[in-house]
Amino acid sequence: MIRLVAFLILFVACSQPVIADNKPLRGIVLIISDGTSQELLTAARCYSAGAEGKLAMDGYPATAFVSTYSANDMVTDSAAAATALARGIKADNHVIGMVSAGSTNAPESLLDLARKAGWSTGTITDDSATGATPAPFSVECPDRNQHSLIASKIVSQLGVRADIVLGGGNKWFHDMSQTESYGSDDLQVVRKTEVELRNRTILAFSRWDDFIAHVRAGHALEKPVLGTFFPDVFPYYADGNRTLRLKDMVDETLQLMLRDKRPFFLMVEAGLPDKACHQNQAKRAIGEVMELNAMMDLLKAKLPLDVLVVATTDHSTGGFAFNAPVPRNLRGEALLAESPISKGSTFTWATGPGGSGGPDPATPRQGSTNDPLSSDHVQPSAIYGRSSQHTGGDVWLVASGPGADVFHGHIDNTHIYALLAKAIKGEGKAQVIKSETKKTSLP
């Protein structure tokens, strides 16, 4: 009998973990899946597990709709959207970390708030570490395309704002083998950045094995870490030639952060759904959503219960559509092949290279193969463009962990910042309508 009672107590304790509301957070993970529409999530779910299947995020208890307009455009780009999330302000498109290209000050980043609260901080992406989504968390810059300048600013903020920055974009920090991509100004900045990396006590890794060895040696975050593992963006996972995965970077970074005694704030970007959507390539886009899903499965398995996880997208891209009629039991590659009912493509796009009537009518689908199962196949779009457009509809958000229930209803992307700022400051679960931001002078 005693054994049975003990078993029942253990069973209840294991199956219903309870976190006291007033207990300090162990950490926050903010996930931004770039350019990932609700329709694309549904397609990835059906592709991987059928219509009744579940993605990791489908188990998150809190959900919200999010408006994403920027300061100067109804349809945001990644720079303005990430600035809204990182700083709590509406910024002009293409601007990093501040309101406009001419700004002379900028609001504090979530990384600043976390550091002030005594937390460790980091950003991870499979885009370039200088990309428009991670950059506004660490730096300010008038133009998202000034990658060498952004890289030099990131280096100056390592150990100040960020304890660890991982991603691609090695060529903007210290890999001089990619010189064809540089203008002469870029070359000068990259050389300076390389010297600064050598002279500062920063651990800079460009080989994944070296970073793994550092983690496996039992380190925490004693010194700031920069890891850039590809010259630019990571290759698409669907292409089959990429071994380093987003979930690997998150796994190793969490080991460093959890060994550290401080609470942590970690921003993780799945950057490649957007890039595949810009080229109307559904197989690559779905593959990258599955990479996001694998990373979220890892979080579920490895994160302590007192970590708040918030996942969202910055905007949708390409006007992706999942078109009827589709046989109810279709899944996997059959969804990419010609529909057995319509004899056309189940997936289509609103804008992008899949449209006819482009500048060169002889090559209406640039870069495409005719095989719908190949990863670089381009599905049809309604309006031709070399790259598809972002779209302005509200986007999804899911949250899990202590305090997740403050994310609900319809919110603006700047309010995500405000709610996370409150969580970092330990100010409980009060709902925030207006974001509160302090200004800091730019260096």
Enumerate binding residues for Zn ion (CB under 5 A). Answer: 35, 274
54: left (phi over 0), alpha (psi -120 to 50) or beta: beta
Residue number with CB closer to Zn ion (246 or 298): 246
Q: Minimum distance from CB of 77 to Zn ion (Å)?
A: 7
Residue 29 host element (H or E)? strand 27-33
Residue number with CB closer to Zn ion (34 or 108): 34
Residue number with CB closer to Zn ion (274 or 291): 274
What is the Cα–Cα distance from 154 to 201, expressed in whole angstroms? Answer: 14
Residue number with CB closer to Zn ion (35 or 88): 35
Q: Minimum distance from CB of 8 to Zn ion (Å)?
A: 52
Q: Minimum distance from CB of 415 to Zn ion (Å)?
A: 22
Q: Minimum distance from CB of 84 to Zn ion (Å)?
A: 15
Shortest CA distance to 380 belongs to which of 343, 416, 413?
343
Q: Minimum distance from CB of 333 to Zn ion (Å)?
A: 26
**How far is residue 384 CA from its own chain's centroid?**
27
Residue 192 host element (H or E)? helix 184-199
Burial of 401 (0-12, 13-18, 19+ CB in 10 A): buried
Shortest CA distance to 431 belongs to which of 404, 399, 406?
406
What is the Cα–Cα distance from 210 to 224, expressed in whole angstroms? Answer: 15
HEC string of 369-393?
Answer: CCCCCCCCCCCCEEEECCCCCEECC
Q: Minimum distance from CB of 274 to Zn ion (Å)?
A: 4
**End-to-end Cα distance, the chain:** 69
Residue number with CB closer to Zn ion (163 or 274): 274
Q: Minimum distance from CB of 352 to Zn ion (Å)?
A: 11
Sheet containing strand 347-352, edge to edge, reads: 321-322, 347-352, 381-384
Q: Minimum distance from CB of 275 to Zn ion (Å)?
A: 7
Shortest CA distance to 95 belongs to which of 135, 129, 151?
135
Shortest CA distance to 106 belongs to which of 128, 127, 77, 135?
135
Residue facing Zn ion at closest CB distance: 274
CA atoms 286, 289, 295, 298: torsion sign: negative
In the block, tokens 């609260």 appear at 117
What is the Cα–Cα distance from 336 to 375, expressed in whole angstroms? Answer: 10
Q: Are 206 and 145 within 8 A, CB to CB?
A: no
Residue number with CB closer to Zn ion (221 or 285): 285
Q: Minimum distance from CB of 278 to Zn ion (Å)?
A: 6
Q: Minimum distance from CB of 282 to Zn ion (Å)?
A: 16
Residue number with CB closer to Zn ion (220 or 233): 233
Residue number with CB closer to Zn ion (79 or 326): 79
Residue number with CB closer to Zn ion (121 or 351): 351
Residue number with CB closer to Zn ion (108 or 127): 127
Determine how many CB atoms are found less than 10 A away from the CB of residue 169: 28
Q: Minimum distance from CB of 316 to Zn ion (Å)?
A: 10
Task: Kindly report each contact of residues 419-424 with a partner whose C-beta sits within 8 Å and lies 24 or more positions away, as own/partner.
Answer: 420/28, 420/30, 420/110, 420/310, 421/88, 421/110, 421/113, 423/25, 423/28, 423/308, 424/25, 424/28, 424/110, 424/113, 424/114, 424/117, 424/119, 424/265
Residue number with CB closer to Zn ion (252 or 274): 274
The helix/strand/coil state of 263 is coil
